[in-house]
A and B are shown apart, each in its own frame.
Chain A
Amino acid sequence: MMMKKNQPKQSYYVVEECPACGYKAKRGFRDGDYVFKESGICPKDNTVMYISMIFSEEEKRS
Chain B
Amino acid sequence: MSTAAFSPIFGFVPTSPLYFVLYMLLIWVPYIILIIYGQKLQSYSIMADVARYLNRLKYDAEQSRENLMSYLQRKGVGGDGQKSIESMIEDVTITPVDMDPVGIVKKMELILRTQEESVKSRIKSIMKDANEVERAAVANMLEIASALTLVYKVIRHYYLLGRKFPDNIYLLAQLQMILPGLVKQADAYLGAMGALEKSLPLGDGIGPMIVGKFMRGSEKIELDDETVYAEYLYKGRTVAFLKAKGPMASVGHVDSGLKRLLDGPYADVKAIIMIDAALKMEGEQSGEVAVGIGAAIGGIGVEKFNIEEEASRRRIPLYAVIVKESIFEAISVMTRAIAESAENARKSVLDLIERSVPEGEKCIVIGVGNTMGVAQ
Contacts of B247 in A (CB 8 A): 34-37
Q: Are A53 and B375 in contact (CB under 8 A)?
A: no
Q: Are A34 and B339 in contact (CB under 8 A)?
A: no
Chain A window 31-62, contacts with chain B (Cβ cutoff 8 Å), 1 for yes, 0 for no:
10111110000000000001011111100000
A sample of 7 inter-chain contacts (CB < 8 A) reads A2-B52, A29-B200, A34-B247, A35-B246, A36-B216, A53-B209, A55-B333
A12 adjacent to chain B (CB < 8 Å):
yes
B132 adjacent to chain A (CB < 8 Å):
no
Q: Are B200 and A37 in contact (CB under 8 A)?
A: no
**Which of these, A33, A37, A53, contacts B339 with CB under 8 Å?**
A53
Q: Are A37 and B375 in contact (CB under 8 A)?
A: yes
Q: Are A2 and B56 in contact (CB under 8 A)?
A: yes
Contacts of B340 in A (CB 8 A): 53
Residue of A nearest to B198 (CB): A31
For the complex formed, measure the closest distance between the CB of A29 and the CB atoms of chain B, giving whole angstroms.
Answer: 7
**Bound CA span A8–B201, Å:** 20
Q: Are A36 and B201 in contact (CB under 8 A)?
A: no
Q: Which of A13, A15, A36, A52 has the most CB of B within 10 A?
A: A36
**Bound CA span A10–B201, Å:** 14
Contacts of A1 in B (CB 8 A): 52
Count of A residues near B, CB < 8 Å?
21
Q: Are B246 and A34 in contact (CB under 8 A)?
A: yes
Q: Answer whether A35 and B201 are a contact pair too, CB < 8 Å, given A54-B339, A55-B334, A56-B332.
A: yes
Contacts of A2 in B (CB 8 A): 52-53, 56, 183, 187
For the complex formed, measure the closest distance between the CB of B351 and the CB atoms of chain A, giving whole angstroms.
Answer: 21
Per the 8 Å Cβ criterion, residues 193-221 of B in contact with A are 198-201, 209, 212-213, 216-217
Residue of A nearest to B372 (CB): A34
**Bound CA span A39–B52, Å:** 47
**Which of these, A10, A12, A36, A56, contacts B212 with CB under 8 Å?**
A36
Given contact pairs A34-B374, A56-B332, enumerate 19 new A-B contacts (beta carbons under 8 Å).
Answer: A2-B52, A10-B333, A19-B217, A29-B200, A34-B199, A35-B373, A36-B213, A36-B375, A37-B247, A37-B375, A53-B339, A54-B200, A54-B339, A55-B201, A55-B333, A55-B338, A56-B200, A56-B336, A57-B335
B342 adjacent to chain A (CB < 8 Å):
yes
B376 adjacent to chain A (CB < 8 Å):
yes
**Which of these, B209, B333, B342, B376, contacts A12 with CB under 8 Å?**
B333
Q: Answer whether A34 and B373 are a contact pair too, CB < 8 Å, given A53-B209, A55-B338.
A: yes
Contacts of B212 in A (CB 8 A): 35-36
**Bound CA span A56–B375, Å:** 18
**Bound CA span A24–B338, Å:** 18
Residue of B nearest to A17 (CB): B213
Q: Answer whether A55 and B374 are a contact pair too, CB < 8 Å, given A12-B333, A36-B212.
A: no
**Which of these, B52, B183, B246, B339, contacts A55 with CB under 8 Å?**
B339
